[in-house]
Amino acid sequence: MKPIETNQEYSDYVNKKSPDSPILKNCLNAFWVGGLICTIGQFIMNFCQYKGMEQTQASTVVSIVLVACAAILTGLNIFNKIGKFAGAGSLIPITGFANSIVSPAIEYKSEGYVMGVGGKMFTVAGPVLVYGISTSVIIGMIAVLFGA
């Protein structure tokens, strides 16, 4: 191999050795996995409505089923593999919320069932609930003020 002498040669060498930014591939994987999870949810919702449920109830059933599946898959260590592949594709749907509860709970199991499992479950889900619920209370108060 010939020695590197100029800056130009060096930057060419670095560009050749470092892999292409994987952002496009990540986005593509996030797109189809995320889309697929939502589509599974849509099928569950359609099925519930076909069985005569109203939309709000059907959407609650969708959340419960997806959350249960994600929790079980996390417990079996399958969800983490999907997450590595899909990134935001499995994080952003409600499955990611369930995963964020189960993952730390398993990891801190050795610290006991109360503060370990019971406490660490909310490492990520806690902030989500704090900000989500607080925002909804503020919005409710604004609705009271403006007589919505």
Structure tokens at 113: 């069932």
| Binding pattern for the stretch 4-23 against another protein, x by CB under 8 A and - elsewhere | -------------------x
Our CB check for another protein shows the closer of 11 and 134 to be 134
Residue of 91, 100, 101 lying closest to 37 (CA atoms): 91
Count of residues that bind another protein according to CB under 8 A: 77
Min dist. Cβ of residue 100 to another protein (A): 7
Number of residues in the chain? 148
| Binding pattern for the stretch 86-105 against another protein, x by CB under 8 A and - elsewhere | -xxx-xxxx-xxx-xxx--x
Residue of 93, 81, 102 lying closest to 37 (CA atoms): 93
Report the distance separating Cα 35 and Cα 43, nearest Å.
12
Instruction: Quote the distance between the C-alpha of residue 125 and its chain's center.
Output: 11
Report the distance separating Cα 112 and Cα 50, nearest Å.
44
Does the protein bind another protein through residue 82 (CB under 8 A)? no
Does the protein bind another protein through residue 34 (CB under 8 A)? yes
Among 32, 81, 112, 115, binds another protein (CB under 8 A): 32
For residue 106, how many C-alpha atoms fall within 13 Å in the half-sphere facing its CB? Answer: 14
Our CB check for another protein shows the closer of 13 and 47 to be 47
Residues 35-74 that bind another protein (CB under 8 A): 35-39, 41-47, 50, 56, 59-64, 66-68, 71-72, 74
Does the protein bind another protein through residue 115 (CB under 8 A)? no
